[in-house]
Chains A and B, each alone.
Chain A
Amino acid sequence: MVRGEASRYRPSEPNPEDLASRLRQHPLGAGALSGPRQGSQPRGDPTPGRVTNDVDSEADGMELTRRQLFQWGARLGAAGATGWVLTQSSQAQAASQSPPSSQKGMLIDITRCVGCRLCERACASKWGLDPTDEHPSNQWTWLTQVASADGPRYVRNQCFHCLDPACVSACPVAALRKTAEGAVIYEEARCLGCRYCMLACPFQIPRYEWHSWNPAVTKCVFCYDRLAEGEAPACAVACPTGATLFGDREALLAEARRRIAAHPDRYVPHIYGEHEAGGTAWLFLSDVPFEELGFRTDVPTQAPPRRTDAIMRLVPPVAGGLVAALGALAWWNQQEEAGPGVDRGPEPKAERDDEGGPSA
């Protein structure tokens, strides 16, 4: 087939023998070498014999090109695998990354909350939120009342401040980021409003100013400015019963374990936030099972960004590998096409539709 193809090569080609031998040696096969690129016919040369016969030659070369495709697939796969291996070291490095040692936290003991809502008010006055504004986006922390067998329970709802937040990894412009103290904060000036953070959040916490022409994402920012100065958040200061306890996350975790161990009859044996979504800064204790209080208990324990980080790390090696492999392929194709010693600079297309403008 290759020989036949070569022998049908345009008779006007300067050196058919040379081409035939090159075709036989060519690793990519003959199919694509059967003529100049469409449109490389010099202008003003109407010789019909010089018209390309792409369709015919390609039909003959089909099997060959399919094999080529598999070969290239294998090569690209190898390039990808190499890149993957190369990134494993950095991945291992990242996996050993631990939350900042200064990670602050909050321990909410639902058994101690009396539903006074001082936390809500403290938050509103700290951040200048209008208490008469009914939009959910105007509440950064809000209390929900849940009926249980022995009286109502009050649950605080706000950002959990994940140790490895999905929203931070999702945001394309770093409008969301984690401070040194472990607060997840939002910078409206950077935001473009894609709302990927809202989709990404495993707890469905970020809210949006849907009613605004210039909407922002809103959520608890853990009074990051107070934290930076070593102070407790406004809501923790306001809490009169000690249901909201501020401190280092590790210390709070120990305290939570101590409380459960000391009063196994009072608490369900679960610290919500210890493992959820890879761990959160805010921890919850309860005497009522968490799912009954409206907590999502189907949140994965692995931090979601772990999954996407593993993929995004592949981007540079895949991009580099593809540029190298496909660039080489394109260059090779062009070299073959130019032919030996014939400088047929790619001309504008010579093939024309003589029928001109369509008229549907």
Chain B
Amino acid sequence: MKELTLAYAPGRVRDWAWHLTWTWPRVVLALVAGAGFVATIYRFIFGLGAATNLSDEWPWALWISLNVLSGVALSAGAFTIAAAVYLFRQRALKPLLRPAILLGFLGYLQVIMGLIVELGKPWNIWHPIIMWQPRSAMFEVAWCVMLYTVVLFLEFAPVLLEKVGAKARWLRAAQRITPALVVAGVVLSTLHQSSLGTFFVLVPGKLHPLWNTILLPLLFFTSAIVMAIGVVSLMTALAYGTLVRWDPAPLTARLLRWLPWAVGLYLILKVGDLVARGQVGELFTGSPEAGLFWLELALIVLPAVLALQPRLRSSRRGQGWLGALVVAGVILNRFNVSHFGLRAWTAAGYVPSLPELAISLGLMAATVLAFIAIAENLPVFSHRPPADRGA
């Protein structure tokens, strides 16, 4: 019993005090989160009309592109690493599992909070539970996000149990249901990561031909896996030295070995789809959309090519940059589909308002800060690779 907590933090048995070391980046994160909080209050007091630049011609805010679509993709590390460890027997990656699950859990809380801000009647957010409309991709996403957030919490529960020094029997029970949770998590993620793409299959007249394809769900799913590798690489690179005491670089390098494969699959689908739809010519029209498409591809293909180099993917700095490029590339893809690809049709000329920006970035900052705070106080990075033990 005692040993359980001792092993994580000597001398802190049942120590409920929270420790957060304040560094300058963390102060900046807190300030951004604070600004977002103020903007959120403003939005709820004065309404969507006053707080946003939304209009009948442009009904979906920056919040959908960044906090919901990108947010869900950024949380893909949880199901990807869980599947790798528990289903595809990449046991060595297990030390990355807890941080990935925490990032996913906080990411989904962030998505839900973004939705609460975005919805016109957020107090009805639970309606999909009793008012069914299974024809709607939104309905499916609502259910999957609800269930998956619960699954992520349960997957994270052992960490909390360890912290509070729960009885070994509880920890055993938590571990026993883990494989079932992993399966549920992977299935739910597969469904809603892809269904976010289905949203935009419904607007064939509005979406630019470069992205207007019935394969969007498949592309969203494969790029979510690409994103998972990227975001976990970035996270471990940033966490080294402060949150994680062992060297995660060898594990991240192992993870990055899969990046060229994942990107390759994504690329085959994406380019093959363009060819099959006969839209290759759109790539060379010199339109802003073509530029964005090229940029989106470059941001993903470049790190995939670089990851082929063992030296680069093994260095911590290299891992951080590869991860950052991938993250930027997939986020740009979500923006292209949900924002830039729609601009030409409506000519609404939407530019996010200051409160919109503050809320979006504030939610992101709060998520990162919460991750840091929890990782500092709970046994998140506590699994260390055996090879590292002597170090």
Does A330 contact B382, Cβ atoms closer than 8 Å?
Answer: no
For A207, the closest partner residue in chain B by CB is: B56
Task: Specify which of A62, A193, A202, A334 is in contact with B120 (CB 8 Å cutoff).
Answer: A193
Q: Is A17 at the interface (CB under 8 A from chain B)?
A: no
* Interface check B278, CB cutoff 8 A: no
CB distance from B201 to the nearest CB of A (A): 5
Which residues of the partner chain A approach B23 to less than 8 Å between Cβ atoms? 360
One digit per residue, 1 when the CB lies within 8 angstroms of any chain A CB and 0 when it does not, for chain B 242-253 equals 111110001100
Shortest distance between the CB of A280 and any CB in chain B (Å): 13
Who on chain B is nearest to A197 by CB? B59
Tell whether A170 pairs with B186 under 8 Å between CB atoms, given A329-B87, A334-B179, A353-B7: no
Known: A38-B383, A326-B186, A348-B168. A191 touches B121 (CB 8 A): yes
A311/B201 in contact, CB under 8 A: yes
Residue of A nearest to B178 (CB): A346
Please, which residue of chain A has its CB at the minimum distance from the CB of B204? A300
A-side binding surface: helix, strand, loop or mixed? loop
Chain A positions within 8 Å of B386 at CB level: 51-55, 351
Q: How far is the CA of A61 from the CA of B91 in the complex (A)?
A: 11
Q: Is the CB of A199 within 8 A of B121?
A: no
- Docked-complex contact B175 and A346, CB < 8 angstroms: yes
Given A193-B119, A348-B162, A305-B89 contact (CB < 8 Å): no
CB within 8 Å of A: which of B71-128? 83, 86-92, 94, 115, 118-122, 124-125, 127-128
Interface residue ranges of A324-360 to B (CB < 8 Å): 326-327, 329-331, 333-334, 345-349, 351-360
Contacts of A215 in B (CB 8 A): 47-48, 120-121
Q: Which residues of A contact B383 (CB under 8 A)?
A: 38-39, 349, 351, 353
Query: Does any Cβ of B come within 8 Å of A298's Cβ?
Result: yes
B128:A173 contact, CB within 8 angstroms: yes
The answer for the CA separation of A173 and B214 in the assembled complex, in Å, is 24
Give Cα distance in the complex from A39 to B191, angstroms: 31
Q: Are A211 and B379 in contact (CB under 8 A)?
A: no
Contact residues in A for B202 (Cβ distance below 8 Å): 166, 169-170, 199-200, 304-305, 307-308
Contact A360–B119 (Cβ < 8 Å): no
Is B286 interfacial (CB-CB < 8 Å)? Answer: no
> Judging by beta carbons under 8 Å apart, are A346 and B91 in contact?
no
Q: Is there a chain B Cβ closer than 8 Å to A212's Cβ?
A: yes
Asked if A147 CB lies within 8 Å of chain B CBs, one says no
Evaluate contact between B214 and A307: CB separation under 8 angstroms: yes
Q: Is the CB of A356 within 8 A of B8?
A: yes
Chain A neighbourhood of B52, CB < 8 A: 210
B340 close to A (CB within 8 Å): no
Q: Contact between A32 and B122 (Cβ–Cβ < 8 Å)? A: no
Residues from chain A with a CB closer than 8 A to the CB of B11 are 356
In chain A, positions 255-297 with a C-beta closer than 8 Å to chain B are: 277, 296
For residue B205, CB closer than 8 A to chain A, the reply is yes
**Do B91 and A210 touch (CB < 8 A)?**
no
A309 to B203, CA, bound (A): 13
Chain B interface, >50% SS class: helix
- In the complex, the answer to whether A204 meets B376 with C-beta atoms within 8 Å is no
User: How far apart are B14's CB and chain A's nearest CB, in angstroms?
Assistant: 14
A329 vs B85: C-alpha distance when bound (angstroms)? 12
Contact A353 B379 (CB under 8 A): yes
Given known pairs A198-B59, A348-B162, the reply for A333 and B179 (CB within 8 Å) is yes
**Bound-complex Cα distance A6 to B378 (A):** 36
Name, among A62, A214, A326, the residue most crowded by chain B CB atoms within 10 Å (CB to CB): A326
> CA of A174 to CA of B48 in the docked complex: distance in angstroms?
23
Interface hits, A302-323 → B, CB 8 Å: 302, 304-305, 307-312, 315, 318-319, 322-323
**CB neighbors of B among A128-181 (8 A):** 136-137, 166, 169-175
Q: Indicate if the CB atoms of B47 and A65 lie closer than 8 Å.
A: no
Residues of B within 8 A of A327 (CB): 180, 183
A192 within 8 A of B: yes
Give Cα A315 to B379, complex, Å. Answer: 37
- Of B134-142, B289-297, B298-306, B316-324, the stretch lying at the interface with chain A is B134-142
- Do A65 and B90 touch across chains, with their CB atoms under 8 A apart? yes
- The answer for the CA separation of A139 and B87 in the assembled complex, in Å, is 56
Q: What sequence of 0s and 1s flags, for each residue 1-21 of chain B, a beta carbon within 8 Å of any chain A beta carbon? A: 001101111111000000101
Judging by beta carbons under 8 Å apart, are A195 and B242 in contact?
Answer: no
- Given A347-B168, A348-B158: A307 touches B201 (CB 8 Å cut-off): yes
The answer to whether A43 and B125 have CB atoms under 8 Å apart is no
For A345, the chain B residues whose CB sits under 8 A away are: 172
Query: Please, how many angstroms separate the alpha-carbon atoms of A129 and B57 in the complex?
Result: 22
B176 at the interface (CB under 8 A from A): yes
Between A43, A305, A356, the greatest number of chain B beta carbons within 10 A of the residue's beta carbon is seen for A356
22 pairs from A and B in contact (CB 8 Å cutoff): A32-B89, A54-B91, A69-B88, A166-B202, A166-B203, A173-B131, A198-B59, A202-B205, A208-B54, A277-B205, A311-B214, A322-B190, A330-B87, A330-B180, A347-B168, A348-B158, A348-B171, A351-B386, A353-B8, A358-B242, A359-B21, A360-B376
Beyond known contacts A194-B120, A312-B137: 16 more, CB 8 A cutoff = A65-B88, A68-B89, A166-B202, A169-B136, A193-B119, A193-B121, A199-B199, A199-B202, A202-B206, A210-B54, A304-B205, A307-B202, A327-B183, A348-B158, A348-B171, A360-B242
